[in-house]
Copies of this chain bind each other. A is one copy, B any other.
Amino acid sequence: MAKIAVLGYGTVGSGVVEVIKTNSAVVSKKAGEPLEVKYVLDLREFPGDPVQDILTHDFNDILGDDEVSVVVEVMGGTKPAYEFVKKSLEKGKSVCTSNKALVAAHGSELLRIAKENGVNFLFEASVGGGIPIIRPLNRSITSDNIQEITGILNGTTNYMLTKMADEGLEYDDVLKDAQARGYAERDPSADVEGWDTCRKIAILASIATGKEVSFEDIPTEGITKISKRDMDYVKKMGMSIKLFATAKLDGDKVWARVAPAVVGKEHPLSFVSDVFNGILVKGDMLGDVMFYGAGAGKLPTASAVVSDIVDAVRNKNVNLGLSWSEDKQKLSDINTMQVSKLVRLAYNDKAKALFAVKTGFGDCDIIELDNVKGEFAFVTPVYTEGSLNKKLVELENTDGVGEIINTVRMG
């Protein structure tokens, strides 16, 4: 009987307790022994909930109980999660977490401490919710140099972009809808500014490179600038906009970025809509493989956490060797990355503006909307980000051209 402690009885924490109870047969079979949730730590009381019997408000109850071999951290944030996780590992307890903020900020150190103590620090649920991605990267794709990872890693923004496209709504309206459904927080910044996505791609890139990719260094752009009008152009092109997180090998460096991207139907991630997530991994031998599923939600996320618990129990006192070094992975200057953009251009004189586009960029696809005057959109050829931005400034200063209303990268 393996004894488990769950830190935090919120959505994921109560899901973990539920999965272990509901699926006890399959879970004990896979783990090699039954699991028992011995403690749940939460500051609140839950009168009437059976969890009340195993509830504690004091982390030291858990830390001091040598029977507890696995600690599940599903509180979120880094305070006090970081301290609790570190102390648990140091006490020889494995830790399973869904907390991407913790992993992105302290993963290297916590992986090292786990190794030093012969236990495991596992975080399958921190990226892609229920989608198996961390374990496949660590243990399945082991004969490839991973050349690129591109993912749709945030369900809230993907839901919002899907709804904008399907229903022709403005950004503010879909945000209100997402908040009403509980997909977006009252302060939606972590999702819509791309910060959540940024932490997740930092974790995946750290695994792929074996070095620490700092999320703070990844250029991150959210979806707040995407308007209904942008979406209209993209729909006319038969394409869609996704919030892409990308990490791409550049010699011994890595280009990494989070930004909206215009995606055609032939892209394997184009069908990933609503709250779903998808992750495309490119190996030098394997080619493209893609993983898809529910990127959030109580039970899918809890399922991934419990699969980590199973792994921890099966490998008691055996460190699984999953780690990345504490050396920093160097990132490439994003201005050197190859990119093509969809550009919305306001004009004062259409003929002159078209001529300016042709002069600057050659023959481009020009997209015009019915009943929309004074602007068109075009797709640039591929340049480095830096030189493309320079050319766009030149374009904006050309006679007959008004201003660049918005640009979105082509995915």
User: A residues touching B (Cβ–Cβ < 8 Å)?
Assistant: 19-20, 22-23, 26-27, 29-32, 124, 130-132, 135-136, 139-145, 210, 265, 268, 270-271, 283-294, 297, 299-300, 302-304, 306-307, 309-311, 314, 321
Contacts and interface: CB of A to CB of B under 8 A. Distances in A.
A130 B290 CA distance: 11
Contact of A130 (B139, B268, B286, B293): B286
B289 A143 contact: no
A132 B143 contact: no
A23 to B, nearest CB: 6
Contacts of A135: 136, 139-140
Contacts of A142: 26-27, 30-31, 306-307, 310-311
Query: For the complex, would chain A's binding face be called helix, strand, loop or mixed by DSSP majority?
Result: mixed
B141 A307 contact: yes
A285 B311 contact: no
A27 B288 CA distance: 19
Contact of A288 (B136, B287, B293, B321): B293
Contacts of A270: 271
A294 B286 contact: yes
14 contacts: A30-B143, A130-B289, A131-B289, A139-B139, A142-B306, A142-B310, A143-B307, A143-B309, A265-B271, A286-B293, A286-B294, A290-B290, A290-B292, A314-B321
B23 A144 contact: yes
B143 A23 contact: yes
A144 B19 CA distance: 8
Contacts of A30: 142-143
A287 B271 contact: no
Given A139-B311, A270-B271, A271-B268, A144 B26 contact: yes
A34 to B, nearest CB: 13
B285 A303 contact: yes
A289 B301 CA distance: 12
Contacts of A302: 285
Contact of A286 (B22, B145, B291, B299): B299
A61 to B, nearest CB: 26
A143 B20 CA distance: 8
Given A286-B300, A299-B287, A300-B286, A132 B124 contact: no
A268 B132 CA distance: 16
A156 to B, nearest CB: 17
Nearest to A314: B321
A289 B144 CA distance: 23
Given A19-B285, A270-B271, A143 B26 contact: yes
Contacts of A210: 29
Contacts of A285: 19, 22-23, 130, 299-300, 302-303, 306
A217 to B, nearest CB: 24
Contacts of A288: 292-294
A303 B140 CA distance: 9
Given A26-B144, A144-B23, A321 B32 contact: yes
Contacts of A292: 268, 288-292
Contacts of A306: 142-143, 285
Nearest 10 interchain pairs by C-beta: A132-B140, A289-B293, A143-B306, A285-B303, A30-B142, A290-B292, A142-B310, A286-B303, A130-B286, A285-B299
